[in-house]
Chains A and B, each alone.
Chain A
Amino acid sequence: MKPMAGMTISEKILAAASGKDYVRPGEIVDARVDMAMVNEITGPLAIQTFKRIGLKNVWDNQRIVLVLDHQVPADSVKSAELHKIMREFAKEQNIPFLYDVGDGGICHQIMVERGHVRPGELIVGADSHTCTYGALGAFATGIGSTEMAAVFATGKLWLKVPSTIRINVTGRFSDFVTPKDLILDVIGRVRADGAIYKAVEFTGPTISEMDISGRLTLCNMTVEMGAKTGIIEPDEKVIQYVRERTNRPFKIFRSDEDANYERTLEFNVDNLEPMVACPHSVDNVKPVKEVEGVEINQAFLGSCTNGRLEDLELAARILKGRRVRKGVRMLVTPASSEVYLKALEMGILEVFVRAGACICNPTCGACFGGHMGLLAAGEICISSSNRNFVGRMGSPEAQIYLASPATVAASAVEGKITDPRRFLGGA
């Protein structure tokens, strides 16, 4: 079939992965997967299921990444058993990419940081936030454990080619206003189901200016509006970032001028304020100033959304020389051992410790509500993570507000939700 219009980057990657010249939204393709990732929550079920299929070997042991991150170090015998299943599978299948306790971190950070994500690739992960990797120009999406078992067996997956919503961003962020505030603003407008089954492509001068860390934050949270993936055309910054981490060749795809977008939404960040997602849904978004003064019990800085070096650095600008308010506990969870080490070398961790914050090991930790940093009934947490669902971080009677690292740090100092811009000029 002759193409009638150009293709988006997502369509081009899916066409290439399924050996076609042209695909259109709605078409179902059988695609070849470049990399597959599981963690210890979804992996053991995938491994168990793979064994039921009865094949001796996985399709390609160089294309599978296993990460222990959700509950590390093991907090219970049950967790320890899941970790053991992962380690034994890596050994059995001779999979070199097992990221274990002490040499790893949150799976999504590991995937980009250790060079497992390259532009133009099709990547699946048994974790919903796999969509993060679109920041590097890959088509990356979350799948379940059974499907992952089938990928382990065949290296293939059926996918429906999504239509694309374009988010075009212009303007300059004010100080202490971040990509997290932008993506919360976007989700507030698009709503929790506004992008179901669709790709969300970010374009515009603000995105070109943005660092890799900020782009990862944007793409990471596209699943909170239902998207199949978030994606950004790779530029020189991306190419350099990837080249520093892998020798594996890759191909750059870009959206055609006449590509078909289902719709384009324009955002300008010149006047964007710090935003917060209020309990109990990610699309319940308001400017921070509307909820300023809400007293908090816990402040959480971490997660695959905002646990990178840039996030810790930003929070440290506010916490330097200050103390976390008495009666509030602040948890800091660097997203990986690499982030941890750099933050240590730069003196950022010292700022946190002096401020009275608790530094935790790299893990999904409090965001996942599995093994640490849990909330009691009636408690309120401000968090740099991605979900504020009922019971997400502990008691179903706790409340979670999602915000940027700057807002989390400012709120920790004041003991109540606070606009970080109050700390401008080092007041």
Chain B
Amino acid sequence: MKVSGRAIIFGDNVNTDVIIPSKYLTSLDPNELAKHAMEGIDPSFPSRAKSGVIIVAGRNFGCGSSREQAPIALKYSGVKCVVAESFARIFYRNAINIGLPVLESPGIRGLVNEGDTLTVILDEGKIINESKNIIVKANRLPNFILEIIMDGGLIEHLIKTMRGERYEV
């Protein structure tokens, strides 16, 4: 599974309150949430992300609240994948569960500049920086997580697994 896009860079400890501020959480409409993605840190983000982008961030991306609206807002604003030095655990799980690819790649911040064209090969745990002509290694996701992402999220995966009988792992 491969995704490509231009890189948008963020720093350390980007929290879910800035990814999607609390006041928008009364909406259940993903497209409405997407209009406010990253509003707390960069109000121009939705217009920049529209064409399909890859976020490259520092440590602890998505820290703070458990709001799944955070990865949903990013996904629907045009984010194809988030690559970070490290993730906060709830955001990480939420992203996988809604089918937004996330990849941990220690050292990535120093190897990508704003606007670089990236291709992420998820099943190989590899990031190609086309602009700089380098290949960066990432922590490869375990197979069962890759399956969830490839199925389009946890529910789609669950429905597939459950077909015919009740889900048992």
Pick the most buried of B60, B68, B87, B169: most chain A CB atoms within 10 A of its CB. B68
Q: Please indicate the chain B residues that have their CB under 8 angstroms from the CB of A127 in the complex.
A: 65-66
Residue among B64, B86, B159 making CB contact with A389, cutoff 8 Å: B64
Cβ-defined contact, B63 with A150, below 8 A: no
Determine whether the beta carbon of B26 is less than 8 Å from that of A76.
Answer: yes
Q: How far is the CB of A123 from chain B (nearest CB, A)?
A: 14
In the complex, what residues of A have CB within 8 A of residue B98's CB? 146
Over the window 78-103 of chain A, the binary record of Cβ atoms lying under 8 Å from chain B Cβ atoms (1 yes, 0 no) is 11011000000000000000000000
Contacts of B153 in A (CB 8 A): 146
User: A41 CA to B169 CA in the complex, in Å?
Assistant: 29
- Interface 1/0 per residue, A28-58 and B, CB below 8 Å: 1010000000000110110011001110000
In the complex, whether A145 has a CB less than 8 A from a CB of chain B is yes
Is chain B's binding surface mostly helix, strand, loop or mixed? loop
Contact (A41, B67) CB under 8 Å given A71-B26, A281-B13: yes
The chain A residue sitting closest to B27, CB to CB, is A78
Across the interface, B63 reaches (CB within 8 A) one of A41, A53, A226, A392, namely A226
Query: How far does the Cβ of A23 sit from chain B's closest Cβ, in whole Å?
Result: 16
B59 interfacial contact with A, CB 8 Å:
yes
- Nearest chain A CB to B134 CB, angstrom units: 26
In the complex, chain B residues whose CB is within 8 Å of the CB of A204: none
Q: With A41-B67, A156-B169, A226-B89 as given contacts, are A28 and B21 in contact (CB-CB < 8 Å)?
A: no
On whether the beta carbons of B60 and A226 are closer than 8 Å, the reply is yes
Interface positions of B from 42 to 72, Cβ below 8 Å from A: 59-60, 63-69
- Cβ of A226 and Cβ of B66 under 8 Å apart? no
Instruction: Indicate whether B111 reaches chain A with its CB closer than 8 angstroms.
Output: no
For the complex, is A368 an interface residue (Cβ under 8 Å from B)? yes
Residues of B within 8 A of A71 (CB): 26
Q: Does B116 contact A (CB under 8 A)?
A: no
Contacting residue for A44 out of B28, B87, B93, B142, CB 8 A: B28
Q: Classify chain A's interface size.
A: 35 or more
Let me know if B135 is at the binding interface, CB within 8 A: no
Expressed in whole angstroms, the Cα–Cα distance for A158 and B145 within the complex equals 11
CB distance from B153 to the nearest CB of A (A): 7
A94 to B104, CA, bound (A): 42
Q: Is A128 an interface residue (CB 8 A)?
A: yes
Chain B residues, Cβ within 8 Å of A82? 26, 28
B169 and A30 contact, CB distance less than 8 A: yes
A193 within 8 A of B: yes
How far is B60's CA from A193's CA once the two chains are assembled, in angstroms?
6
Is the interface on chain B under 10, 10 to 19, 20 to 34, or 35 or more residues?
35 or more
B87 proximity list for chain A (CB < 8 A): 196
Alpha-carbon separation in the docked complex, A396 to B42 (Å): 11
| CB pair A147 B93 closer than 8 Å | yes
A416: interface (CB < 8 Å): no
| CB neighbours of B142 from chain A (8 A) | 28
Selected contact of B94 from candidates A28, A54, A81, A147, CB within 8 Å: A147
Q: How far is the CA of A27 from the CA of B60 in the complex (A)?
A: 22
How far is B25's CA from A76's CA once the two chains are assembled, in angstroms?
A: 12
For residue A391, CB closer than 8 A to chain B, the reply is: yes
Which parts of A170-202 form the interface with B (CB within 8 Å)? 192-193, 196-197
**Does A14 make an interface contact (CB < 8 A)?**
no
**A151 smallest CB distance to B (angstroms):** 11
Which residue among B59, B66, B154 has the maximum number of chain A CB atoms within 10 Å of its CB?
A: B66
Residue B151 lies at the interface, judged by CB distance under 8 Å to chain A: no
Judge whether B90 and A389 touch: CB under 8 Å.
Answer: no
Closest A residue, CB atoms, query B88: A226
**Nearest opposing residue in chain A for B90, CB measure:** A142
Contact check, A144 vs B66: say whether CB atoms are below 8 A apart.
yes
Q: List residues 121-169 of chain B with CB under 8 A from any CB of chain A.
A: 142, 144, 153-155, 158-159, 162, 166-167, 169
> Is the Cβ of A53 less than 8 Å from the Cβ of B28?
no
A370 interface hit (Cβ, 8 Å): yes
How distant is A88 from chain B, measured CB to nearest CB, in Å? 14
Scoring A residues 108 to 139 as 1 if CB is less than 8 Å from chain B, else 0, what string do you get? 00000000000000000111101000000000
> Would you mind naming 25 contact pairs between A and B with Cβ atoms under 8 Å apart?
A42-B67, A48-B28, A49-B155, A52-B159, A53-B158, A79-B26, A81-B26, A128-B64, A128-B66, A128-B90, A146-B98, A146-B153, A146-B154, A158-B144, A193-B12, A193-B60, A197-B89, A226-B60, A226-B63, A369-B22, A387-B15, A389-B18, A390-B17, A390-B40, A391-B21
Show the binding face of A for B, using Cβ within 8 Å.
Answer: 28, 30, 41-42, 44-45, 48-49, 52-54, 70-71, 76, 78-79, 81-82, 125-128, 130, 142-147, 149-150, 153-154, 156, 158, 192-193, 196-197, 226, 228, 281, 368-370, 387, 389-392, 396
With A144-B66, A196-B89 given, name 15 new contacts (CB 8 A): A30-B169, A42-B67, A45-B69, A81-B26, A142-B90, A144-B97, A145-B94, A146-B94, A150-B158, A192-B63, A196-B60, A226-B63, A368-B22, A387-B64, A390-B18
For the complex of A and B, 4 pairs with smallest distance between CB atoms: A193-B60, A144-B94, A78-B26, A144-B68
